[in-house]
Structures are given as C-alpha cells and as structure tokens.
Structure 1
C-alpha cells in the first residue's frame, strides 16, 4: 500500500471512531449499594413469606461490572449482604450472582417475572441485573429451596388410633379404625362427628401400629407394627409393615421385618401384664420414606438395626440392606434404645435414648441422634447427645390427691410400676412416670431439629387397670411425652431446649404456672393440670405456621388426638385440637403423625437478552428483550405452554407462579424443548426484527450464558430435562445479537491523467464494527469514455460498464482493497471523469454516510501543437497529476 493510501486509510479509521484498544470503564464512586437477601423458599409461590422462609447465612454473592471486575460478599445470619461498588467497580450497571451453597441438595427457588426491582418480597432469580448509577440503591431477594420441603396448603394428615384387647371380655372390634386421615385444618370431636375424618384401615387390617411413612411418588401410606401392652398385633405380626392406598382404602402386608422379637400378647393373663417388658424393646419403631420415593427405612427395636426396603414395589420379600445402630456409649449395652427417624437433605437421622435401666440413675439418661448416609450405607457421626435430667412439667393442679406421683421430669426405664418417685411414695392409682423414647425427628426450615418424645410408661401401664400382681397394683397412667426443639450449639451439635439450647418461650401465663425452671420452646403442649401432653408423633409442613402433634386431651375431653402449636412462639390455642380416640383415656392412644405432601412442582426458563458484544454471556449492561414469544413443547412435540418475555426479558414456565402450564404437563424425568419459534416476532416491526441468536454455551456457567441453539433451524431452542421433583432450571437463557457492521468505502485515483493514459483506481472497503460483516458488495459504475476496463481481483467482475465486487466475512478493523484499471479517453476538449463507488452489507449499517466515495480525474484536451513548440513544452503543457478524493452521500456529492 502506498504512503498516500495508508494515510488516507488511517484518517478514515480515526474519523469513524475505531481505536486499537478498549479500556475498562472507570470506577464510579457515585454508584449506590446493592442489598441482596437470600432466603430458604418452601411454598413455590415466588414470594418471600417472612413467617415461613428464613434467611440463609454463609451464601456467597458476587457483583460484577461490564469490565468483568467483581467484588464478593457473604450473607449474614439474617440472609443479607450489602455490596458497594465504591472505587473497585464502575459503570453503574451490574450482574448479581448468588452461588448455590449446596449443589445437588438445594436448587433455585421459584422466581417471579419482575417488571422492576422495587418490591423485595418478590423473589428474583439467582442471577439478577441491577442499575446502581447515580447513587441508586437496590434491594432484591432471591432464594434456594430443598424440594423435599414443599407441601401444599391444608394437606391431609394421617395418624392411627390404637385399640385395646383388655379387659379380655370386651376387646375392641376389628372394625374399629386404625389409620385415619383428615385435612390439616380439621378441628373438633371426630368421635361425635365421624365425618371430620376418613378411615383408611381397620383394626383387623393392621392391628396396633405406630411408625407411619408416606411415599409421595406412589401416593401410598406405610405403617409399622408396634409393641404396646393390651393391644394386639395385626395379621403380619410384630415385624409387619402395612401398605395402604388412601384413594382405594386397600391395605396389604408390604413386608415382615426379620427378628422383631417373640414376646406374645396374652390379655387373659394379668391384663397382658407380662407383655409390658417388651414395650420399647421389641417390634418396630419409627418409619420414613425417602422424598424420592425409592427407599423405606424402619427401626427394628429388637435387634437395634436400621432396615432399608425398596419402596417402589407393592411388596418386599426382603430388605435391600440393614445396618446396626451403634450404641453411643450408654451405661450398659442393653440401655441403648433406638426408635425415631427423620430424613433431611439426603441424610437419614436415627434417634434413641440411653434408658439408664441398668443403673436407675437420671444422670445416665441421654437422647442421641446419629446420621446415616444412604449413598455410602454408613453411619457418619452423632449430631445430638443430650442429657435428659432437665426439669419438665408434670401432673399438677389444685385438688390433686395425696400419693400421686406427678412425673416432673424424665425417669429411667423400669419393668415394674415404681413405688416412689423423687423421694415421694407413689401410693395412689394415679401416676405419671415418663420414661423417654425418642420417637420422631423433623427439621425446621432453618435447620433446627424438632424432636418428638414418647412416654414408654404409659404404653406398658395402661389406663384404669386393676391390680394384676404385687408389682402392678391398680394403675391409672397419665402420659407425659414431649415435643422439643434442638438448636445448633457452638460445636455444631444440637442442644435441646430443656438444656437451654433454644429460645425459652415458657412463661407462667402460657405454661399453666409450672416449675419456673422449666425451659421449653413449645410451652403449648399442655392442657390444664397436664403440662406435657405429647404422644411423640410430630408432623411438620413447612408451608404452615403451626406444628401438629399427637397428644393427650387435645380438647377438653379425656382421650387422644392431635394438637397444634405455633412454629415460632410455641404456644397453642386452648382446646384447638382434634379428638380421635378415648380407648386408652389419658394414656397414649394414637400413633405417629404424617403429612401427605405432594411432590414439589417445577419451574424452568429465565431470560432473553440483547447480547450486544456477541460473546454469548449476559453482561451487566446488556438489557433484556421484551415482548418475545417463548413456547414450551413436550417430548412428543405438543405445545404445552406459551408466554411472552416481560419488560426485563424474563420468562418462566410453571404451575404455581405464572401458572402457564398444567402441573401434570411439567414433570421431572421428562424432556422438554423451549423454543423461540414465533415467526411474527422476526418480521418487520416484531420484537426480534433484525436480531439473530447468539453463540450458545459460551464459558462454563450455564446460568449466565446463552442456551439457545439453532441446529440448522431458523429458530433457537434448548432442551431441559429436570432430574427430580422441584429441581428448577433457570439456565434456559436466549441471547440475541443485532449484528450491525459499519462498512465504509474509500476510492483513490489520480487527479489528472493524459489522454489515453492508463488510469488506476483503488477501492478500500473497511469494517468499522462493532460486529463482523458476514458479506459485503461493492458497486462502481465506471465513467463513460474510458476503455479497456479491467481488474485482477477474483471477487470482482465488470459488466455493462459497472464493476461489481463481493466478499466476506470481514472482521472488525479489517480492510479489503480492490484495484481497477482503464485507459483514459482522448478528448477534443478537457473532461472530468466523475467516478463514485458504493458498498453495502448483509448486517444493518449504523452509519450509511460513509458507504459512498467519489473521485474526479481531469483529462485535458489534445492541444493543437505549433511546430515551433518542442516536445518538452508539450509535456509541460499536459502537466502532472494530484491525488484527489471526494466522498458523497447516495444522493449528492460532497467534497472531503
């Protein structure tokens, strides 16, 4: 390239604003702050329900500017973190990324399509875009959730009534109900109003059961045989697990757990007195089903093992495996009594007590919870090991007869009726002598443990029984179970509320004026003179504000049923319960309690945006594309949902927030295709007119890249296959580019040539950006009068006096030079050859003014030569030539 040509090209690039380097935006301390709150969602409604959804601490949040610079923060106890760009970042617009703290267990919570970021109770996606320019402050709330936490409002609850076989002359009939269900909000007396509940199974089908579990995938209820004095086993015996279909009310034996113990009931011998020794030591304890519906776990109280069964089948001939539940170091090996179960975030929790039966010392009683990992089949450690000698409420009140032992605490296990208690002789028939059984484990949304304790003594003593032997005088036992909260201590071990581990909600006003030394998170488990009324079964629906538990005297009537306490204050509305069974009086007459939650719903989708720099990544300053149609198809190609992106480019498919797809149409384990295939969107005036899909799958973060692939089709699409219930996918993003390319052209030629002389023109096509020019065309109508026009450029041709050239692609900053030659005319008078060239491209051109360029070349007339004038003079008369160029628009010429 000649020096003149190089100078002309350099001047052109400078004029169009193309520079050789791009520098990051300067830091702008005038930007405001971003406050990000991360909460644990439970109800799939896209809203932050403050009473139900606590903040999540320790979550990493990243704020990034357009230059790619970032600052990082960590959420505090309340789930919030404030990020200030300060002098570290700049540009005003930022991308917020909230990192999942537990991949595979937690998933993005349900988000609401947001027209703005004004309301912090509307949940955002885990990737959000904020504008902090001009000192603006923004507060947003996003969420994660564990799909197993989900439950529908007012779900069905299931428990079981227990039926006596003593006195032997009047046993409960086989037609009496055992399993029974009712909506969460049911209250009242179901014995007086049977329509309040629905009977699922009878005494003849299941006999006495305690542990209950629900398979939310197959919609089946499981119940486990239980050893209780004066109540018979069902047809499957002491190791039976029953399977009940709530829809058809059909019950069958699912399996028989091996080695459950062999003590038999004999109601004709001392009111089944001998069987009292087997209580808590034989048959089965708690039962739970994994949230994915694959595994059933049950505690065998006789061989002290955890059994695991395939819960997907109607029956199980044998367990998949069994695991010994290790003695945690009780005073004697025989004192270790496992019973309770809980499942939380992929782990199984097994609870039991050191009974202190070998020593009779309260100091040797402990409540222990161990963790089992289903993936490895190993117990991995202990998360709670708490003494049980703290003070508790008992049986107290005005007019209590002399000689009543009221059980204001837990007492070591025995096999006989105690003659004294805390130095007081137990001479009256009435007695409360709670022997602890850790019977149930649940987890609050914030990770606290809710523990149910049953009272073994009430199961082996009975209600209003006559004397059957010197060791068992006439006895009327009052149960004294408990519902407790356990919170994490400084060493991350759980500490019971009775030992000061949690907030103490007990006051004289709400706990019946009991011992002021008693510490309780749930003081509402009392009724009148009875300060501890729990039967040990607890159900926790995280979408409700209360916790139901099986209880003695749930209303002002002697018997058993269900009571509710507030999840936050622990208080209960007096007499606000459900009465189910009076067969065992104030002794325990109900089983475990289970809430029948549906599987978690799904949400997929998220954002369509303008990928201005064509890198396939959602940069902070790149806005959303509103008004674009997004369609959802199932594997058979049926359209099952449609939506339109909002002002910020967001879209979602779900059945609970946007409600644009049916629940039965969007299920895990199936493949769905999201397409942006509305042809009208791409037509003139449509929201995607002139836009093209970005490069998909750029980088290693699916949450901030573009997922839409064309695969040879004109419309972008992405496939999504949710692997499990509630495993939301907000990474189905579509980037679009509006690939503008500023093409410019410069034509360079001589200012003057001699008649008939060879003329050389150079045409320089340049792409000034901001995107690659995929194709360009140069059109040059050659001046009239020239002859022998020719070019050596392979991409050019000359026809009908016009030079036409094409090529591409042309990268940003790249130029292409075309050379064309011709012979000047031999005019009789001076002429000016006016030659203009035009360039066009496939992409829209943001600057059409530089798409034309003209040059004028003078050709003088042939002079009449005086013979006296020599050749040198003639040459001088013809003169030299100057380099001149001129640019004009497509309508008129203008000098450059």
Structure 2
C-alpha cells in the first residue's frame, strides 16, 4: 500500500470514528457494513422511541471477527457509527460490543427478543452477533439507561397551592388545599385533583420532593409575604402520605430565620424583605430514597437528611454553598436543587442588590458529590441581563412598567424601570430566583426561575407606606434551557446557548431580541409566565411547569410545553388556584414516578472451541429452557431461548415475571435446569457447560457454573432499581475427543513364560479428554497378572484403568504382565483392549486394539533322553509319554 493510500484510509476511518487495532490483511474481505446506533432508553419497553430517546455520542463500539481481530468505532452526535471490516477483518461473522461509557450510572437498556436484525427500532442488547458475509449490511440499535430516567406513563404530578392571610380580616381558611395531585395528562380547570394536605397541615410551602421508594411527598416551608408558615415554622419540612392523605412534621431545619409575619402591619409589608433570604428553598429526594436535600436560604447551606424514616431529629450533615464571587457576599442567594446521575446540583443567583446593576446579576449552578461530601465545581455561571419578554397587553394604563428582563433585587417597590416612571399600580419587575433544576435525557439543563418581586409585592394590595404605593404585581418568571458550550459549561438559551425556538407567532409578539427554547411559557399578554417549578417525565413529550394564568384565566396552575419545540397551545394547562391572582400562588412541581423495573438475560450459545468466550461464528442454542428463582428458591419466571439464543426476564417487555416478584436488592438465581433439554432428543443432548468466567469481560463470557450441581446456574443481585444485567450468559460445549488405543505384545512366548503387554491411550482431539477408561479382559489361562500402574486394577481376570485429563496429542502408557499358560498344544492368546471417554468420540473405529500371542505346547521328550537334561532344557518342566507298542515300559 502506498503512503498516500494509507494516509487516505486512515483519514477515512477517522471520519467515521473507526480505528483499526490490527494489521490489515492483504485484500478486502468483501463483507458488508454494520451501522450501530446507541440511544438512551427511558421507558423500559425495548423499543427505540425516537421522540424520547436521543442518540449517545462518544460511545466506543467494537467489531470483532472469528479470528479475534477487531476494529473500534466511536458514535457521532446522532449516536451512530458505521463499522466496515474492509481489509482489517474477515470471515463474515462478527460480534458487536458496545462499551458502557459510565458504569455504575448507566446500565444496559431493556432489549427485546427478536428473530432477526431487520427492524432498527427494536432494541438489541449491548452485545450483538451479525452476519455481514457476501456484502450484507446490518443496522442495529442498542441502548443504555439511567434508572432515574424511568417513569410510568401518565404519572401523577404533585404541586402546592398557596393561600393568603391578607387582608387580615379575611384570611383563607386552614381547610384550603395546599398539596394536590393530578394525572400528567390533566388539562382544564381543577381537573382530576386529589387534595393531599391543607394550609392547616403545612402552611405555605414551596419546595417539594417525592421519595419513590417509600412513596411519600415532602414539602418545605417558604417565606412569602402575606401567607403564613405552617405549624413547624420557617424551617419545617413536612411528610405526606398520598395513600392516606396524612401529613406530619418530618423535621425542622435549624437557623432558617426568625422574622415573623404580621398581616396587621401594612399588609405584612415588612416581611417582603425576607423573601428569598429566610426559610427554605428547593427540596429533592435521591433516586434511591435514602437522602433528602434542602436549601436553607437563611444560612445558605445545603442540608442532608435520612429520608427513609418517618421523622429526622437532626440532619445527617450540612454543607456551606460557596459564594461564587458575587458583587457582595450578601448578593449570593442559593435556592434551587436538581439531582442527576448521582450528583446534586445547587443553583442560585447573584442578586446585584448591593449595586443595583443588571450587569452584576448572574445565575450559577454548582455540583455537590454526595459520596465525598464536597462541592466539586461550577457547571454554569451565566449573566442574566439578556432580553426577555414582559407584560405587553394593549391598552395598559400609562405608567405601567412591563418588566422586559430581569432586575436587581430590592426591598422596596421600584419607582422607575429602564428609565420609565412606574406610576401605575400595575407593575411587572421580575427579580430572579433560580428555583429549580432538571435535566433532559441528553443532559441539557432545564431551569425554573421564580420571580421574587411577585412574592414580596402581592396582588391588588393598597398603599401601605410612602415607599410602597398600591400594587398589583404581575409575575415574570421563566423556564429556560441551558446547553453545554465549547468549554463544557452550560450556556442559557437567553444567551444563545441553545436553539432559539421563539417566533413572533409562538411567543405572543414579545421582545423580538429575546431568545427562548421554550416560547410557550406565555399566555395572552404575559410573555413570561413561569412560576419557577419544573418537572420532567422523560417518557412524555411535554414538560409541565407551574405558571401564572396556565389557561386564559387569572390565577395559578400548571402549563405544558413541547419538549422539542418549546411551544404550547392556549389550553395546555390545568388551572388550580386563584387566591394570589397573577402574583404567584403556587409552589414547586414533582412527578410521582415509580421505581425503575429490572431485566436480566440474555444468551445461550454453543462454545465450539471450549474457550468460554462468545465467538462470532459460534451458534446459538435454540429452544432451551431457562428458569428464574428468588432467594427462597421459588421459581418466579421461565423463558425459552429464541432463534438467536436470547432470553430475558422482566415485567415490561417479555413480561414473564410479575413486578412484585422481582424487586431489586434481592439475589436471584438463573438456572438451566430442565432435565429434558439434556436428555436424548433434547436441545442440549450431549452438551455440557463450558468453562465459566473466562477473561475480564462479563458481557462476552459464560456465567453458568455447576458448583457440584447437575445444572449450570448464575446468581444475579441487582443492587438498585433498574440495574439491568445482560451478562447472565450460558455457554455449552460438545467436547468431542477422539480417543484411540493401541496394544503391543509379543507375537510368541514359550509355555509359562512372562508376557508383557503395553497399552497406549492417545487423545487425537479436537478437545481435551477429561476422563478416559480402558478395559482389558485378560486371556484365559494366563496367571500371575500384575501391573505397576497406580490408576489400574485387576479383578476377575479383567484389567481396568482410568485417568485424565488427557490433552490433545497426549498419550498415556500402561504396562501389564502375566505368565503364559502351559498348553498341551499350540494356543493363540488374543488380548483385546477397549478405551472409552467422558466426551463424545467422533471415531469409534480406533477405540479397540487386539494383539495375538502364540504359545506352543511343551515338547514330548523321548525317555531315552536324560530326565535331568530334558528338564533343564525345558525350564524344569518334564513330560514323558509312554509309547504305544511298548506296553509295560515306563518313560
């Protein structure tokens, strides 16, 4: 190959993400291509749902031929890579192995049983076998998943309504709902609500968390003007059981602030300065249900509690949330939380309250590692002075400030906005709070921003002081997307970090300079109507968020936007609360997802070379029975291998196990223990388990061990929900060993002489003979039979020897001796030996060997010969025959 051609080939391989790791052969194999797509599964159905399951880039995929040669490719942005055997590989049959890019976080996605590889929307396991001979091309799709991504379809959502205590003469009754739940697809007014708690139970709460293990809802106290704390005060966290609708105090977070509400003093005016600075922010529960995290907005620490118990007397730990370098230390205001792939994400804003400059407003997200108990870095640090939509209804009174952007925090009502006097009581002046953090399936962040001004200004309140004139506040929160930039830091859509989906038509004619991934967060004249709570169910095509005027009606509720286009229709909402008008009367939002299900599998094959590794050319075992047993030995599932040797146990795709019988954290045993499979006519008749656990790759070896039992088995212990295991593979060998035997002995011996036989057993292959036995019935008449071989014995005239193992090409020699008989006439001793083995023997013609040995009679000695001389000549034996005709004469 010329240097130019070699360079061109290398460039071509690099362009497709393929790197050869073997020396190329002399000519192209003529085999076709394998296109492999790797996606991130979310719904445990064994299908590639293109709208929900994006491709995964940067995943290594290895193509291996039957000779053990391989090439490696890397998936591109769409999750695909094309692997071409070319002149590097050959043989037609190939194994594809997709490497897990993040073990311990990602696990094999749910795969489907399939008879062929025709449909690329059917998910394969991460190890697949393909035939590319004759130029055939194959396209397969496989997946990984994070169990935390799973949710059932149309799961329940839970949020918190907020109820006012001003005006003080007409407070909302304690019987008003706070926590309420409804199905994901509920739309309309108060549609399909199930009330879980009241103001009397919880008071005003914002942060919500759902423990999917114990199925409990947690809610955190919140500081908001004109609406009271619950019985636990400003640091209270409540625990609500949705099944019984009973609420109790879970814990009190210390140092959460001490400012009290006073609705009788200027409509609780003084409390407005406390908003975002005391009580609690967002709350989340870890996927495994063990930890509850909450932000204390007063001491600016992250608190961690044991979420497995009904109450927590004290936190497990608390951690300072570091000031990211705001204009002044007091400007750092943490609030939001998010959990993703084992890490905790803590969000907050630099409020710019110390400077009043928009240039000093920033949104920051830091990462906390629960294992080390340390904050490990910042993943987003974004300015908040980008253009946004505002309040632009036609005919608004003169002096209305529309709030087209974010504004620095203050403690008073602004008199001016962007050079315009705010003289009318209508005002929108959004002060940013980064209140919620979620992650899309592809890793983008979806952020909820609340409007602090709405929580401290209130709805339709009279003038209470010279600095606080009559106010009707319109909230102006936001739902934003943040995508990774070139330095792997997240960049907000408002700063151009993500696709801009906004058009004049879908954003209500808002500020044409505004960039939004989710332009559907508007209704009517309100171009930014998010209330700061966001929830993502990754099995749905829309994102719900808490919102002002979720439908064309004044109040609060939940609105939905499309996850891809960011758009929404006028009626994509569920109206829940009218007590705070347009000034935010609703809290956080959570999806009440079930725990992820499990899948165990997946392949039974014929290990022809007995190396314990699934080689590309080795055939599957079709129609074999595989059983699943729980820790008590109860059979809970049965599978039969398909045309490709695959089997799976699960409750969602194959549906051969009941969900209640298949929880994680238990030890399960997978057995191939159907006796009929191994009996005559069975699919494994003559086959036995191959060597288990060979090499360091559990995905391509055999896991079945006998451990003294007649059938192979493997134990699997999924430690967490959704931790699928596709490494429960069983290899079987039909280890033929061609044993041959040769017997060597003398052609002739004299009467009574010692006869020495040698028996040579040889293994001609193709596999090791694990055990062999020779049987040698010694000829009649021989005496004093003996052997010095320790593995032999003689009983009832038969020599029997056993041994093993005997490697291919190896021989074993046995020596046996006996004394010949003393016949009266010539006899031929025919000595035959037979060898048998444990493994099937493909050539039985060489399993027997015979050797004849002639023994002449003792010669008749004439009496005339001296007796002593004759005896000496015959070795001590003397036979004298009387001649006929010489009667009376003795010899």
Q: Name the TM-score, length of structure 2 as normaliser.
A: 0.89
For the residue of structure 1 that corresponds to 2:845, the secondary structure is helix
Deviations, residues 345-390 of structure 1 (Å, cap 9, x unaligned) = 1111111111111111111111111111111111111111101111
Residue 9 of structure 1: aligned partner: none
CA distance in structure 1 between the aligned counterparts of 2:94 and 2:838, rounded to whole angstroms: 33
Gaps in structure 2 of 5+ consecutive residues: 1-23, 861-891
RMSD: 2.7
Residue 695 of structure 1: aligned partner: 691
CA distance in structure 1 between the aligned counterparts of 2:403 and 2:203, rounded to whole angstroms: 30
**Shift of residue 706, structure 1, vs aligned partner:** 2.0
Residue 359 of structure 2: aligned partner: 363
**Shift of residue 243, structure 1, vs aligned partner:** 0.7
**Shift of residue 88, structure 1, vs aligned partner:** 2.5
Residue 39 of structure 1: aligned partner: 39
Alignment partner of 1:92 is 2:92: yes
Change in Cα spacing, 1:800 to 1:495, as seen in structure 2 (3 Å) is closer
Residue 414 of structure 2: aligned partner: 418
CA distance in structure 2 between the aligned counterparts of 1:145 and 1:224, rounded to whole angstroms: 31
**Shift of residue 80, structure 1, vs aligned partner:** 1.6
Question: Which of 229, 252, 257 pairs up with 1:256?
Answer: 252
Deviations, residues 714-749 of structure 1 (Å, cap 9, x unaligned) = 112222211111111222222222221111234556
1:52-201 to 2 correspondences below 5 Å: 52-190=52-190, 196-201=192-197
**Shift of residue 451, structure 1, vs aligned partner:** 0.4
For the residue of structure 1 that corresponds to 2:395, the secondary structure is coil
CA distance in structure 1 between the aligned counterparts of 2:386 and 2:490, rounded to whole angstroms: 16
Whether the 8 Å contact between 2:750 and 2:820 is mirrored in structure 1 is: no
Change in Cα spacing, 1:82 to 1:793, as seen in structure 2 (3 Å) is farther
Question: Which of 456, 460, 463 pairs up with 1:464?
Answer: 460
Residue 386 of structure 2: aligned partner: 390
CA distance in structure 1 between the aligned counterparts of 2:349 and 2:783, rounded to whole angstroms: 107
Change in Cα spacing, 1:711 to 1:837, as seen in structure 2 (3 Å) is closer
Change in Cα spacing, 1:748 to 1:728, as seen in structure 2 (3 Å) is same
Question: Which of 425, 437, 442 pairs up with 1:441?
Answer: 437
Residue 619 of structure 1: aligned partner: 615
Deviations, residues 537-564 of structure 1 (Å, cap 9, x unaligned) = 0001111111000011111111110000
Deviates more, 1:617-626 or 1:800-809: 800-809
CA distance in structure 1 between the aligned counterparts of 2:294 and 2:392, rounded to whole angstroms: 36
**Shift of residue 70, structure 1, vs aligned partner:** 2.4
CA distance in structure 1 between the aligned counterparts of 2:794 and 2:310, rounded to whole angstroms: 83
Alignment partner of 1:510 is 2:497: no
**Shift of residue 518, structure 1, vs aligned partner:** 0.9
CA distance in structure 1 between the aligned counterparts of 2:27 and 2:794, rounded to whole angstroms: 54
Alignment partner of 1:298 is 2:291: no
CA distance in structure 2 between the aligned counterparts of 1:832 and 1:376, rounded to whole angstroms: 87
For the residue of structure 2 that corresponds to 1:270, the secondary structure is coil
Question: Which of 838, 842, 847 pairs up with 2:843?
Answer: 847
Question: Which of 708, 714, 719 pairs up with 1:718?
Answer: 714
Question: Which of 555, 563, 566 pairs up with 1:567?
Answer: 563
**Shift of residue 619, structure 1, vs aligned partner:** 2.4
Residue 876 of structure 1: aligned partner: none
For the residue of structure 1 that corresponds to 2:112, the secondary structure is coil
Change in Cα spacing, 1:243 to 1:840, as seen in structure 2 (3 Å) is same
Whether the 8 Å contact between 2:29 and 2:91 is mirrored in structure 1 is: no
**Shift of residue 680, structure 1, vs aligned partner:** 1.8
Change in Cα spacing, 1:27 to 1:293, as seen in structure 2 (3 Å) is farther
Would you say how many aligned residue pairs link Structure 1 and Structure 2?
836
Question: Which of 497, 500, 515 pairs up with 1:501?
Answer: 497
Residue 316 of structure 2: aligned partner: 320
CA distance in structure 2 between the aligned counterparts of 1:640 and 1:755, rounded to whole angstroms: 72
Question: Which of 218, 238, 243 pairs up with 1:242?
Answer: 238
CA distance in structure 2 between the aligned counterparts of 1:410 and 1:214, rounded to whole angstroms: 31
**Shift of residue 513, structure 1, vs aligned partner:** 1.8
1:281-292 to 2 correspondences below 5 Å: 281-292=277-288
Question: Which of 587, 593, 599 pairs up with 2:589?
Answer: 593
Deviates more, 1:742-751 or 1:463-472: 742-751
Change in Cα spacing, 1:281 to 1:808, as seen in structure 2 (3 Å) is closer
CA distance in structure 2 between the aligned counterparts of 1:635 and 1:790, rounded to whole angstroms: 56
Whether the 8 Å contact between 1:787 and 1:825 is mirrored in structure 2 is: no
Change in Cα spacing, 1:593 to 1:793, as seen in structure 2 (3 Å) is same
1:740-889 to 2 correspondences below 5 Å: 740-747=736-743, 762-779=758-775, 792=787, 794=789, 805-818=801-814, 837-853=833-849
CA distance in structure 1 between the aligned counterparts of 2:778 and 2:528, rounded to whole angstroms: 104
CA distance in structure 2 between the aligned counterparts of 1:529 and 1:202, rounded to whole angstroms: 32
Residue 407 of structure 1: aligned partner: 403
Change in Cα spacing, 1:325 to 1:863, as seen in structure 2 (3 Å) is closer
CA distance in structure 2 between the aligned counterparts of 1:409 and 1:393, rounded to whole angstroms: 7
CA distance in structure 2 between the aligned counterparts of 1:404 and 1:450, rounded to whole angstroms: 31
Deviates more, 1:89-98 or 1:459-468: 89-98
**Shift of residue 592, structure 1, vs aligned partner:** 0.5
CA distance in structure 2 between the aligned counterparts of 1:160 and 1:96, rounded to whole angstroms: 49
Whether the 8 Å contact between 1:64 and 1:95 is mirrored in structure 2 is: yes
Whether the 8 Å contact between 2:25 and 2:88 is mirrored in structure 1 is: no
Residue 555 of structure 1: aligned partner: 551
Whether the 8 Å contact between 1:26 and 1:90 is mirrored in structure 2 is: no
Alignment partner of 1:430 is 2:390: no
Question: Which of 368, 371, 375 pairs up with 1:375?
Answer: 371
Deviates more, 1:813-822 or 1:762-771: 813-822
Deviations, residues 330-357 of structure 1 (Å, cap 9, x unaligned) = 1111111111111111111111111111
**Shift of residue 857, structure 1, vs aligned partner:** 7.8
Change in Cα spacing, 1:332 to 1:802, as seen in structure 2 (3 Å) is closer
For the residue of structure 2 that corresponds to 1:271, the secondary structure is coil
Alignment partner of 1:677 is 2:684: no
Residue 543 of structure 1: aligned partner: 539
Residue 732 of structure 1: aligned partner: 728
Whether the 8 Å contact between 1:25 and 1:66 is mirrored in structure 2 is: no
Residue 574 of structure 2: aligned partner: 578
Whether the 8 Å contact between 1:483 and 1:534 is mirrored in structure 2 is: yes
Deviates more, 1:239-248 or 1:814-823: 814-823
For the residue of structure 1 that corresponds to 2:268, the secondary structure is helix
Change in Cα spacing, 1:637 to 1:426, as seen in structure 2 (3 Å) is same
Change in Cα spacing, 1:774 to 1:305, as seen in structure 2 (3 Å) is closer
**Shift of residue 800, structure 1, vs aligned partner:** 8.1
Whether the 8 Å contact between 1:236 and 1:253 is mirrored in structure 2 is: yes
Whether the 8 Å contact between 1:25 and 1:91 is mirrored in structure 2 is: no
**Shift of residue 855, structure 1, vs aligned partner:** 6.1
**Shift of residue 136, structure 1, vs aligned partner:** 2.3
Deviates more, 1:270-279 or 1:797-806: 797-806
Whether the 8 Å contact between 1:789 and 1:823 is mirrored in structure 2 is: no
CA distance in structure 1 between the aligned counterparts of 2:54 and 2:173, rounded to whole angstroms: 48
CA distance in structure 2 between the aligned counterparts of 1:256 and 1:491, rounded to whole angstroms: 40
Deviations, residues 568-622 of structure 1 (Å, cap 9, x unaligned) = 1101122221000111111101100011111111112222222222222222222
Deviates more, 1:836-845 or 1:178-187: 836-845
Alignment partner of 1:343 is 2:339: yes
Deviates more, 1:601-610 or 1:205-214: 601-610
Deviates more, 1:179-188 or 1:299-308: 299-308
For the residue of structure 1 that corresponds to 2:207, the secondary structure is strand
Residue 262 of structure 2: aligned partner: 266
Deviates more, 1:79-88 or 1:443-452: 79-88
Gaps in structure 1 of 5+ consecutive residues: 1-23, 865-896
Whether the 8 Å contact between 1:755 and 1:827 is mirrored in structure 2 is: no
Deviations, residues 184-232 of structure 1 (Å, cap 9, x unaligned) = 1111111xx6xx1000000111111111011111111011111111111
